[in-house]
Amino acid sequence: SFKQFNGSQWVLQCISPKELLNDTILQNKINFLMLAVSLLQTFDEAGLCESLRRNVTKSGYVKPTPVQKHGIPIISAGRDLMACAQTGSGKTAAFLLPILQRLMVDGVAASKFSEVQEPEAIIVAPTRELINQIYLEARKFAYGTCVRPVVVYGGINTGYTIREVLKGCNVLCGTPGRLLDIIGRGKVGLSKLRYLVLDEADRMLDMGFEPDMRKLVGSPGMPSKEDRQTLMFSATYPEDIQRMAADFLKVDYIFLAVGVVGGACSDVEQTIIQVDQYSKRDQLLEVLKSTGNERTMVFVETKRSADFIATFLCQEKISTTSIHGDREQREREKALSDFRLGQCLVLVATSVAARGLDIEQVQHVVNFDLPSSIDEYVHRIGRTGRCGNIGRAVSFFNPESDTPLARSLVKVLSGAQQEVPKWLEEIAFSAHGTTGFNPRGKVFASTDTRKVWRITSHVTARTRGAPIRI
């Protein structure tokens, strides 16, 4: 029978009823799946080439995270993957390392002499900050090799972007709109594409990028899904993500769920404080003064509030910067740099920074304004407690505006083994408390909607749409 790996949930592969009755086909599939999901205990077991292994060590990677332990072997085995994992799980390295390893083994090298670059891998992410972060990781891993990553996104001069692409490009990282623009200008061809990675796929749907993603996949020259390896990563697994996975991935793709999808990381100590709107500023000052020199992210709902709170904190002699969608790209990058380098201890942000940013040593998150969606709450507090580090999250709950979120907050707190305030339970289960989930039907436990079969040593029990636990 399959092994139990730290309680992680997996759906491995669709197996049809006909195949279930054919012992030879079934055994072949089981053997292949066991090979594909062999547990990776150390990076040395990943079979990385010397230059890549050296760069992994220099980058401070010591022990694979759960998504890396299982994701790297799956991708290395050539399988399409739909992975759901908590934020901060280390999924960027999980897909970059096997892709770069394969390109290096095959002797791929960037060409500076072609007017049309034909990358072997394209990585798509919804925001400039996230895609730039992925690019920096790729550049770090590929340092000293012939593989050349390039990043393209809006807010940067198009001519400069094209010149960078034409210097040679094996791994093209980009936001959806800018990728389509570069491809449409005839500067990037897709005939050599082997890997397509869609990161934060649910966020791209939230931001209205589904038409762009479908246009990208349908671009002239794009290999069919049977002729490329497609990897999708998402923090949640709503129905529209499932439909997209069915359209973009091979029919036998592997579904991987690490932890409770949509749930908060248990490494984050969560505190909910009941406070009215007009007392939030004083409460924020009290919280920040108690944190000392801890690096803190403060989330607000509006761009105006971000600048207002940042100015207020600066007046209170707390070094603060802010980031939101109306700031120029140069200003956003400067704000992130100041925060990363510790020149500003507090970063006030709207949801533009709530996804994917991996800023080291963020010890504290404050939800000055709670979001309307429980998923957004989980993503926000996921900025701390990343990759095994312990973090703290404090949220201001205003009963006048946040009551619809109460029941979901109770569920998240309980699921992460956190203390639930009695007053929050009372609000949650009063007549006014609702589920607080968004209308797209995101859920805490992800389920693969394809026909899957629970395989035991006797191969007898079968279930539809339930993940196989191994």
Q: How confident is the model at residue 143 (pLDDT cuts 50, 70, 90)?
A: very high
What CATH number has the domain spanning 268-428? 3.40.50.300
pLDDT greater than 90 at residue 83: yes
Q: Which residues pair with residue 323 across a beta bridge?
A: 349
R_g of the chain computed on alpha carbons = 23
Q: How confident is the model at residue 263 (pLDDT cuts 50, 70, 90)?
A: low
Segments making up each domain of the chain, as ranges: 9-258, 268-428
Mean of pLDDT values over 86-109: 89
Judge whether 138 and 172 are in contact, CB under 8 Å: no
Burial 182-220 (b: 16+ CB within 10 A, else e): bbeeebbbbeebbbbbbbbbbbbbbbebbebbebbbebe
Instruction: Give tens-digit pLDDT for 417-427.
Output: 889 999 999 99
Instruction: Give tens-digit pLDDT for 305-320.
Output: 999 999 999 999 999 9
Which 3 state secondary structure label does DSSP give 287? helix
Strands, E assignment, 331-390:
346-349, 364-367
CA distance 204 to 236: 12
CA distance 272 to 264: 14
Q: Which residues pair with residue 149 across a beta bridge?
A: 171
Choice between 336 and 375, residue whose per-residue pLDDT is larger: 336
Can you give the pLDDT at residue 450?
55
| DSSP-derived secondary structure letter, 358 | -
Judge whether 257 and 465 are in contact, CB under 8 Å: no
pLDDT greater than 70 at residue 241: yes
CA distance 415 to 417: 6
Half-sphere exposure of 184 (CA within 13 A, CB side): 10
This prediction has a pTM of: 0.70
Which 3 state secondary structure label does DSSP give 322? strand
Strands, E assignment, 61-194:
81-85, 121-124, 149-152, 171-174
Find the Cα–Cα–Cα–Cα dihedral 433, 439, 442, 443, rounded to 10°: 30
The CATH class that applies to domain 9-258 reads alpha beta
Parallel, antiparallel or unpaired: strands 268-274 and 391-397 = parallel
Percent of the chain with pLDDT over 70: 79
Q: How confident is the model at residue 449 (pLDDT cuts 50, 70, 90)?
A: low
Mean of pLDDT values over 145-154: 94
pLDDT greater than 80 at residue 455: no
Report the range of poorest mean pLDDT among 130-134, 188-192, 223-227, 438-442. 438-442
Instruction: Give tens-digit pLDDT for 8-52.
Output: 333 333 334 444 444 544 444 444 444 445 688 899 999 999 999
| DSSP-derived secondary structure letter, 163 | H
Judge whether 96 and 138 are in contact, CB under 8 Å: yes
Can you give the pLDDT at residue 265?
64
- End-to-end CA separation in angstroms for the chain: 8
